[in-house]
Structure 1
């Protein structure tokens, strides 16, 4: 089309995933560095020991350490430990040692500054790994390690205990019981994991946690330990919520007020979870969509693991005001969301998968919906962060239609996928989807059974924005998020009212539809006409992408000069922009309530002002 559509035009800034690789995401390669000054083999064998300890195990990975003790009378000037891991067990990152490998043989050397160990002293270095194997054939400076390991070669790890059952939950305590694990040498005790961290070790099959806070969500899992001190697989997790909220939920008239938090926003945008608190937005929202996880190979997979789980926050950057430590099990955005939920227990968080850039993977995923749903469940409900998420959001752009790539899965594909998701995630988790707003004749809404898929979903996020933009370089200028049609609109069916009407007509309940708001504007340059419908020469400049800019930037730079179809527009110099303001948002929220919609959502938090004026307008308008 000459004007372009929001789904078939060049990639939208709203949905672009800027995958930023950072130096903080470190992986171990084969570091072939020279080394000198090793202690003698005789000294190592008779006067030093090396002991391996697995300190944490979360099923798909673990944390472990080696402790070197000088048992002799002379100082050790340098050390090297070597061992073998099974083929499925690998070191992924290490600290206080340089760790390399040749196949299944692993070598750890001191860093130079920590090579010296005085008589009677000990030194420990640690690492993270994947797999479940134990080390074998250990040597320290060429001699026997002598210190033993937590798992003698050939000793099988314990099985996973039964999923814990919670009872007697009060505002400060909960009792947990579980069925026993099995082990070839016998189970010694059980570690109780709360939110992925060990809080107790017990010998029986029950534990009462008396250190809980009122109105808070927790996740518990159990891990068995055998007589060799080897830990097995972690049990399935159980969610527990203590009664008595510590904060007052936002007053939104029972409506959903959901915002997208972008994983990559922690880089150039310098927008973090704490900004939701400092802006006042956390007091006014009900849900957060964390975006995005990837969809590839028929599975849900992590997007940017550094931003999600590894990035360390200082005290002044953290929601809790407490700095991250190097050895805590979870950092990054996930831990900050955990801290946010502790402060605002009414907020629910969903992990959103796909988006404009990563929707191409849904085509393969739809070929085996059950396997896809299983992969997503295992990732979202991983014991390390299961308490962070309250469900999953599918951002498939677009089933049986074209976005960045084209899908030909058929009109029933989305229904099959959502049914599988609901079956796997159950009734206690939220399952939602972001969908097209193309209500044009023969447009995308008509190509998929959205009514059938809605039966398995809590709601749809209807993307009622990006209808028009500077991908049509010469115009005509038009608001990118018109609420209604208007005389001269470039494409009929490209407005919010028509999209909602088309979905209702298909059979989607109004209560399962959320109206979308963009916290940004779209603009052209080379424009002489103040009203919509003018010609242009190209896209207006934007900080991250031409033709798109945050509301917080446009408000002072190019103030609104008029409104059309329920949204604002602005003419400043040769530039022409359209965007929503607190005033137009108020009108849209009134319209949404009159339509009986379930609420509204927005893309995305970082486009708002530092005092969250657009979020406030949405919350006020939904009351």
Structure 2
């Protein structure tokens, strides 16, 4: 988890350092009150250092003085030099030291201090000087301070994120007193942070970049220590946040590409997978229902209110529908990668034959690239859909094992060869085009894929670590548990996220390429027996409950979107969180409804699991299931890409 340093985060916004970093250093002078001059010598986001000059208006020479000043609202003093300091609330009292107690009539007493502010540095609201009358002896010059503070030691990293690094170090010592520290980047003479404490958060960094830091201590006389030993820190690359957008969401759900903009989803994602593209007669194709939905893809008119940029479609424009809106979404979020996802549960049946021979593989891949990457849609001008997709995601359910359509033994090697062909043709079109696959969570299914070989052709693998239990089971069980459970009657099925991840790692997939699937929906059963624990877990049911989901790709019952679970079901049943599975569940004893799902807490736990195991990120099926506040996605992003 990234730490928060409320008093030590700096707005680096004034002076460019040529490295994507900037720093604010300022000096300003203002009258604090009659006879007092306040000069801020350094300011930053929440702190400042200043000098206060107080005129002796008593009419007498002073031998020993006391200055009293009232801090303005929102201002505090944390350290002071050239005087002995006490504070009561906002009232500060400073008495002279041995060497600076003599002040002639009309002369000034001077001291400096550092503190915090709440947004604006404001001079003291009152200021007085008093003391004992003395002779005409002028004040002696203060002893010269030429000794620099000791070198900073113990420079270390407290936390790091893609665009920031939190540092800490041991305090320095000085013969008079250390007044602050400066943080430097190598080869840059201006500090990137100036502060009084011994920790700092440096922001504005670039992900995946090595930075070398040093720290110097300073005192009131301006002496600076030598630089600390350098510390090199590499900022992590952002974790991938992959979300599936369902094309049919534009109908009953009114979930449009613009929704991804207005609800903040597009700004949080790194990848958006459009579900799904069909494979017909060995080729990628967009055909009328039931083989496709050309209306939603590129023919549907979007009025101004539903359009990403607020501009309505014209009847005469060649490309409309979701494809045109996705292109507008990418223009607004240029870092968002949009991929076409091929197959899915319903449309995977044609893939086995399409990749069965070298000639078929070459033609199949070429058809997919021509349609989705080059944007050549039959019946439209050439290249009408160019620029919509940045790559291809293949969701084959499942090689060899089959799904709605039986597989065949040779699917294993043919799939590897097909992915190699996809990689070859994509690279020939343009370097940087993405290629990913969705892999199953069950060992009996992912073992049919040559994971140790295919990852070389892929940017990442989306592990479908959900639907581990569902309508096909007669007993209530977790459909997306993070860890297996001691009492799980199906424990031998290895039905947990952690076991699926470990299986992929054991097969040779690099951790950085594994993207963990998380569901924005739950699965429920009806008529569930209470069981010994009285909560229905692992108990017999009447079958899958009738959920609220309109998932037309499967027609499955028992599916409940998270927004419905949160708004309706959490208040009508008893919610518990399993200490081993690390996910919540709901049981309603009056109806027998038992429901397995994820909430923001479990999303955060899974985010920690991804970070702690150096995995590639998280994949979401599917985005329209979140609540209007985006609670699930926000919980993930706050962990993975804060």
- The question of a shared fold, defined as TM-score above 0.5 by the shorter chain, is answered with yes
Which one of the candidate residues 374, 378, 398 is aligned to 2:366?
374
The answer for the alignment partner of 1:539 in structure 2 is: 544
Q: How far has the Cα of 1:599 moved from its partner?
A: 0.6
Q: Is the 8 A contact 1:520 1:579 kept in 2?
A: yes
Which one of the candidate residues 270, 273, 283 is aligned to 2:267?
283
Which one of the candidate residues 539, 547, 564 is aligned to 1:553?
564
1:357 aligns with 2:346: yes
In the superposition, the TM-score normalised over structure 1's length comes to 0.58
Q: Is the 8 A contact 1:414 1:450 kept in 2?
A: no
The answer for the alignment partner of 1:603 in structure 2 is: 621
Q: How far has the Cα of 1:556 moved from its partner?
A: 2.1
The answer for the alignment partner of 1:405 in structure 2 is: 405
Q: Is the 8 A contact 1:262 1:291 kept in 2?
A: yes
1:562 aligns with 2:576: yes
Q: Is the 8 A contact 1:308 1:332 kept in 2?
A: yes
Q: How far has the Cα of 1:252 moved from its partner?
A: 9.4
RMSD: 1.7
Q: Is the 8 A contact 2:485 2:491 kept in 1?
A: no
Alignment partners' CA distance in 2, 1:531 and 1:590: 29
Alignment partners' CA distance in 2, 1:292 and 1:345: 22
SS of alignment partner, residue 306 of structure 2: coil
Q: How far has the Cα of 1:491 moved from its partner?
A: 4.1
The answer for the alignment partner of 1:297 in structure 2 is: 281
Alignment partners' CA distance in 2, 1:411 and 1:324: 44
Alignment partners' CA distance in 1, 2:236 and 2:315: 40
Which one of the candidate residues 233, 236, 239 is aligned to 1:255?
239
Which residues of structure 1 form unaligned runs of 5+? 1-247
The answer for the alignment partner of 1:487 in structure 2 is: 486
Alignment partners' CA distance in 1, 2:397 and 2:558: 21
Question: Which runs of 4 or more aligned residues in structure 1 lie more than 4 Å from their structure 2 counterparts after TM superposition?
Answer: none
Alignment partners' CA distance in 1, 2:543 and 2:420: 44
Q: How far has the Cα of 1:428 moved from its partner?
A: 2.0
The answer for the alignment partner of 2:609 in structure 1 is: 591
The answer for the alignment partner of 1:95 in structure 2 is: none
Alignment partners' CA distance in 1, 2:545 and 2:237: 38
In the superposition, the TM-score normalised over structure 2's length comes to 0.56
The answer for the alignment partner of 1:418 in structure 2 is: 419
Alignment partners' CA distance in 2, 1:371 and 1:341: 29
RCO (CA 8 Å, sep 6+): is it higher in 1 or 2?
A: 1
Q: How far has the Cα of 1:330 moved from its partner?
A: 1.1
Identify which range, 508-517 or 368-377, moves more after superposition.
Answer: 368-377
Q: Is the 8 A contact 2:604 2:635 kept in 1?
A: yes
Alignment partners' CA distance in 1, 2:558 and 2:237: 36
- Computing the radius of gyration from Cα coordinates, the structure with the larger value is 2
1:321 aligns with 2:310: yes
Q: How far has the Cα of 1:396 moved from its partner?
A: 0.4
Q: Is the 8 A contact 1:286 1:347 kept in 2?
A: yes
Q: How far has the Cα of 1:253 moved from its partner?
A: 5.4
Alignment partners' CA distance in 1, 2:543 and 2:276: 30
Q: How far has the Cα of 1:619 moved from its partner?
A: 0.8
SS of alignment partner, residue 412 of structure 1: helix
Q: How far has the Cα of 1:410 moved from its partner?
A: 3.6
Alignment partners' CA distance in 1, 2:278 and 2:512: 29
Q: How far has the Cα of 1:510 moved from its partner?
A: 0.9
1:496 aligns with 2:497: yes
Which residues of structure 2 form unaligned runs of 5+? 1-205, 208-234, 287-291, 376-382, 551-555
Q: How far has the Cα of 1:528 moved from its partner?
A: 3.6
SS of alignment partner, residue 447 of structure 1: coil
SS of alignment partner, residue 517 of structure 2: strand
